[in-house]
Amino acid sequence: MGDAHGEGLPPDGETPVHLVEMRVFAIDETTVRNRDFAAFVAATGHRTTAEASGSSTVFHALVDRDDPAVLGASVDAPWWLAVQGADWRHPAGPRSDLDGLDDHPVVHVSFDDAIAYCAWAGRALPTEAQWEMAARGGLPGARFPWGDEREPDGRSMCRIYTPSFWGAPFPGEPASRVGVAATLPASALPPNGFGLRQVIGNVWEWCADRFDPRYYRRSSDVDPGGAERGGARVLRGGSYLCDDSWCRRYRVAARSHSTPTSTAGNVGFRTVGRG
């Protein structure tokens, strides 16, 4: 586990690189899709964190800033807008819907929502170690699930927008993204060596672990389960907003975190079988 190339941000705690022994486990090929989450909601009546709070965060280029549903921008990240009525059914705000997005990853789901889904499905969130082992696809130390080159043989293998796509360095201009779906279908692009798809660059994925940037210094070398304390939970995989002009967290070793009740248009999850 860990960043073998020295590319991570120190606060993310991607080092030291360390060997981890894992028991066999089964993990989803893709992130949980909108159709999967809809079945869960239909069966349980679950109301998501975003629905209960009445709003969630949407990338600025996916919604008109003059839309009355826009409540305001984040002080620390002004490209994120709080949008009233944004939730898993309305990923870009109340004027949007899931038409044509059944196979896209569900977004605007909190860690708590993911846990509720897992309880219904008889599954669990992967530990951070399980996620990284599965995402590597059998390539120890590689930057990406397919190797070290971002675009091997000139082919774009990851779902990463570039400055040329945005028309400007991240976060780009709103006009450059109007009418373009942010996510790709969960099964898009080739699988890695273990058969997993979209493990990087589509949506961030919740993991079971509590986040601690110092955890790798003392973690167990057999089936580590994360820090014992801490309010934030680990996120892995990067999203459609990761770009070289802003961050490089679409690497397999990259770590991030958020609070269990946070929601956004670029966060989803996949599950593992319970041990």
Residues 87, 58 contacting (CB under 8 angstroms):
no
Cα–Cα distance, 53 to 202 (Å, whole number): 25
What confidence tens digit (pLDDT) does each residue in 252-275 have? Answer: 999 999 999 999 999 999 999 976
Residue 99: CATH number of its domain: 3.90.1580.10
pTM equals 0.92
What pLDDT band is residue 4 in, cutting at 50, 70 and 90?
Answer: very high
The torsion angle over the Cα atoms of residues 164, 169, 171 and 176, rounded to 10 degrees, is -30
Split into its structural domains, the chain has a count of 1
Cα–Cα distance, 146 to 126 (Å, whole number): 21
With a CB cutoff of 8 Å and minimum separation 6, the contacts of 48 are: 87, 88, 108, 109, 110, 113, 263
Q: Residues 117-131: what's their mean pLDDT?
A: 98
What pLDDT does residue 165 have?
A: 42
Domain that holds residue 23: 1-275
Q: What percentage of the chain exceeds 70 in pLDDT?
A: 87
